[in-house]
Structure 1
């Protein structure tokens, strides 16, 4: 692996040296947070008040509702207003602060989507710096929560690229479906799959500058599945579905340009969150018992950091010459 990375570094230097640095448009911190309730709460004051407490809503928040037409527009899903109960509160923060997701399940559970899955999907949509709380006063699947986030941006006069929101929803659906399909497969957990998906994104940006073929995506995905104890556990159809999603994400442009580094930074925050979670430690222990050890990426991460620093010094040297 290290030999491969060194070769990639040498080859890529010929591409990077003549490039000039680009200005990155920092995320603009909002003056007010936005709270978006599911449409079912609009006529149920009591349920809305309970949900507001869970979300930590403030009197200064911009208030809106997510309706069936919003869910259809933003995530291409069809739900009746009466079942839309999951709600969100979001505050966009300054660049570099990272994406923080919190699910409050003290009154109602989000039954299908984990915090890490939401975070992965929102990163794919281009949201990298924000504090997001998701909650419902009754048990809900949580599938419409992303629509609430996008509705919040619309309430602030900002629009998220529809191509990216569709990619994010496709990713969320795939993670949920693959998790459900593998619910009885020993050695599989959603937290492992989220780690794989996050690591694939980071490698595509860091080692390939976002320019990857479908064959390379498959190779990266196979490598990450093996490193995370999932080799041979996903069906070919499931792998093909993930490859197609990564291809679509690549085509959206988020792996290159000014968004790429923000995505890497927030993705690395997500990886730290995953690997420090109890669910990941449980998955790691279970994988070890099955002889499917999850690779310790600490050494690889240290090498990658050293490699990036070395790379930056060489690029700056040649820029100085020219």
Structure 2
């Protein structure tokens, strides 16, 4: 193969690669982590210091506070500054590294939202590669932590699309509400619901390329509920609410193009987190006791194996050229 042919092949290859110069910039432009404290800590240095230790904050971090107006702007919720205590520290990581969430509850519990629920919501907002720590020095619901993450991005000059943040909040609210409504229902757990939601997203992308009707969403959702031991547990109103959210996500464009690929890649981390958790093992035991079963998710793993194989063949091809 002559040099002209090699050059043409390189141009064609890079024209179809799933990233752009903007993505490369975004993956490397954060030179420092961002710590965002709840507004209630601004006048309480002792609590702020305790929270900083939980978050692993350093003197080199960019620091800000999340106020009631930020919560209203980013997640359309109303809270007084005096109750905003959940805080976050975030460091953007290289593209493809995945989204990692850690909740430190050494001093205070996040009472309403699990790590998996935060992760699902942030993936929906378009945040796919970052290390995030969430903590509070006393018990809080944790609802305002997402606003802190979005404000951190704004501090770094990267505003998150408001439609995406609202979709993420709608998803988080739905997961929290459905979990609360089924708290005493045998055979239900939030970890199962998060697995369902993640798997529905992946199937819409992988098998439908994001072009999916409401009837198809309902069919996919029913299949995933059944596969995760939740068939017959969620009410019709709860199912309708989830269908509406998936419709919103489809309309936002997150299931197509470059965004879809990032979402699938990061969803593998979430599925692995869920299936390796003690909560998931407990859910499987409960399902077995009720005569149900929770199937392991092979879809994402098989897709990622195929993707890795594709890139291995690309690398070997260019090794052969040179």
SS, match of residue 95 in structure 1: coil
**1:259-270 aligned within 5 A:** 259-270=259-270
Cα distance in 2 for residues equivalent to 1:48 and 1:309? 44
State the distance in 1 between where 2:284 and 2:73 align.
39
Q: CA deviation at 1:296?
A: 2.7
C-alpha distance 311-28 of structure 1, shift in aligned 2 (>3 A): closer
Q: TM-score, length-normalised on structure 1?
A: 0.87
Q: Per the alignment, do residues 265 and 247 of structure 1 end up closer, same or farther by CA in structure 2, a change over 3 Å counting?
A: same
C-alpha distance 189-165 of structure 1, shift in aligned 2 (>3 A): same
Number of the residue aligned with 1:148: 148
**Structure 1 contact 22–258 (Cα < 8 Å) conserved:** no
Residues 259 and 100 (structure 1), Cα distance of their counterparts in 2 relative to 1, 3 Å cut: same
Which residue of the partner structure matches residue 124 of structure 1? 124
CA contact (8 A) 2:268 2:300 kept: no
Pick closer, same or farther for the CA change 1:215–1:49 going to 2, 3 Å. same
Shift of 1:130: 0.1
Decide whether aligned partners of structure 1 residues 310 and 98 sit closer, same or farther in structure 2, where only a CA change above 3 A counts.
closer
Aligned to 1:68: 68
Distance 1:183 1:114 in 2: 14
State how far apart, in whole Å, the 2-side matches of 1:250 and 1:128 are.
Answer: 17
Measured against aligned partners, the alpha-carbon deviations of 1:222-242 in whole angstroms (never above 9, x if no partner) come to 000000000010000000000
Identify the residue that residue 246 of structure 2 maps to in structure 1.
246
Provide the residue aligned with 2:277 in structure 1.
277
User: In the aligned structure 1, how far is the partner of 2:208 from the partner of 2:169?
Assistant: 25
Other-structure match for 1:183: 183
Alignment match, 1:257: 257
Q: How many residues align?
A: 293
1:33 aligned residue: 33
1:14 — aligned with what? none
Deviation sequence 1:102-161 (CA, Å, 0-9, x none): 000000000000000000000000000000000000000000000000000011111000
Unaligned runs of 5+ in 1: 1-19, 313-322
CA offset at residue 295 of structure 1?
1.4
Map Cα deviations across residues 24-59 of structure 1 (whole Å, 9 max, x no partner): 134423100000000000010000000000000010
Shift of 1:163: 0.2
| SS of residue matched to 2:48 | helix
1:307 and 1:128 mapped to 2: Cα distance?
Answer: 20
* Cα separation, 2, equivalents of 1:169 and 1:246: 13
Q: How does 1:1-16 map to 2 (within 5 A)?
A: none
- Secondary structure of the structure 2 residue equivalent to 1:28: helix
Displacement after TM superposition at 1:297 (Å):
2.8
Residues 282/205 of structure 1: CA separation in 2 closer, same or farther (3 Å cut):
same
Shift of residue 174, structure 1, vs aligned partner:
0.3
1:234 and 1:266 mapped to 2: Cα distance? 27
CA distance in 2: counterparts of 1:309 and 1:142, whole angstroms: 37
Residues in 1 aligned to 2:285 and 2:59: alpha-carbon distance in whole angstroms: 45
Deviations 1:245-286 (A, max 9, x none): 011011111111111111101001100110000100000011
Provide the alpha-carbon RMSD of the alignment: 1.8
Query: In structure 1, what is the equivalent of residue 232 of structure 2?
Result: 232
Shift of 1:184: 1.1
In the aligned structure 1, how far is the partner of 2:305 from the partner of 2:170?
34
Does 2:168 correspond to 1:164?
A: no
- 1:96 corresponds in structure 2 to 96
Partner of 1:58: 58
Distance 2:165 2:72 in 1: 12
